[in-house]
Chain A
């Protein structure tokens, strides 16, 4: 299983760009990188997934360097509603790696 390491917490202010970096040094060739968001008292919600380079959707961007040993989730112009826990996971698309969610990164967005 590819282990991931991410900061325990981060603080930001409304309107700023937030970058959360995840380290996954032993990522396997077939592994994808996936990020989930969790609000209090709710189940996690898928944000974005990528394999290499850059992926962008309406919510976030995911930057993956060539060696794939880390990835960065970028949230543009955060608002108070982006206050949540963000989880980075690696695993094979369609596979059963028993994904480990870990403790995630607690992002607090301040007015």
Chain B
């Protein structure tokens, strides 16, 4: 039981490049989330998926797109990376809504130059 896994662990992009962050959970959870965390700050919600087939915006969705591929997988795409998107990205899942215990992945450290 791996919990929540994320790939890649580290990534360096040049401004304007695109990439997709992958997230998968094996806990049969309905809800999944993408957060970003800037140095010394708390987490900010980018997008979430209440259940398979649904997605919704969080606090800071601009510049990102998401896909809930199936119940297990939730990907985050940066279409045209900007230096302001340099951050650590965490994926999380929960049984139901965000008031339930959320299980977090190890994070992806992204640097945009």
Q: Is the CB of A99 within 8 A of B90?
A: no
Tell me which residues across on chain A come within 8 A of B50, comparing CB atoms: 96
Tell me which residues across on chain A come within 8 A of B96, comparing CB atoms: 93-94
**A92 proximal to B (CB < 8 A):** yes
Task: Choose the segment among A17-25, A44-52, A58-66, A76-84 that binds chain B (4+ C-beta atoms closer than 8 Å).
Answer: A44-52
Tell me which residues across on chain A come within 8 A of B63, comparing CB atoms: none
Considering residues B44, B56, B98, B105, which has the most beta carbons from chain A within 10 angstroms of its beta carbon?
A: B98
A64 to B4 Cα, complex, angstroms: 31
A93 to B103 Cα, complex, angstroms: 15
Tell me which residues across on chain A come within 8 A of B59, comparing CB atoms: 98, 100
Q: Tell me, rounded to whole Å, the shortest Cβ–Cβ distance linking A4 to chain B.
A: 10
Q: Tell me, rounded to whole Å, the shortest Cβ–Cβ distance linking B108 to chain A.
A: 11
The interface size bin for chain A is 20 to 34
Which residues of chain A from 59 to 111 have a CB within 8 Å of any chain B CB?
A: 87, 91-104
Q: Tell me, rounded to whole Å, the shortest Cβ–Cβ distance linking B5 to chain A.
A: 11
**A41 proximal to B (CB < 8 A):** yes
| Cβ-closest chain A residue relative to B95 | A94
Given A96-B50, A98-B48, A98-B59, the answer on whether A43 and B98 have CB atoms closer than 8 Å is no
Which residues of chain B from 21 to 52 have a CB within 8 Å of any chain A CB?
A: 31, 35, 40-45, 48, 50
Given A43-B107, A45-B104, the answer on whether A101 and B99 have CB atoms closer than 8 Å is no
A46 to B58 Cα, complex, angstroms: 20
A36 to B98 Cα, complex, angstroms: 13
Which residues of chain B from 68 to 113 have a CB within 8 Å of any chain A CB?
A: 90, 92, 96-107
**A42 proximal to B (CB < 8 A):** yes
Given A43-B90, A87-B42, A103-B42, the answer on whether A92 and B97 have CB atoms closer than 8 Å is yes
Query: Which B positions have Cβ atoms within 8 angstroms of A?
Result: 4, 31, 35, 40-45, 48, 50, 56, 58-59, 90, 92, 96-107
Q: List 17 additional contacts besides A95-B98, A101-B43; criterion CB under 8 Å.
A: A34-B99, A36-B102, A42-B106, A44-B43, A45-B104, A46-B102, A92-B99, A93-B96, A93-B97, A96-B48, A96-B50, A97-B98, A97-B99, A98-B45, A99-B45, A99-B99, A103-B41
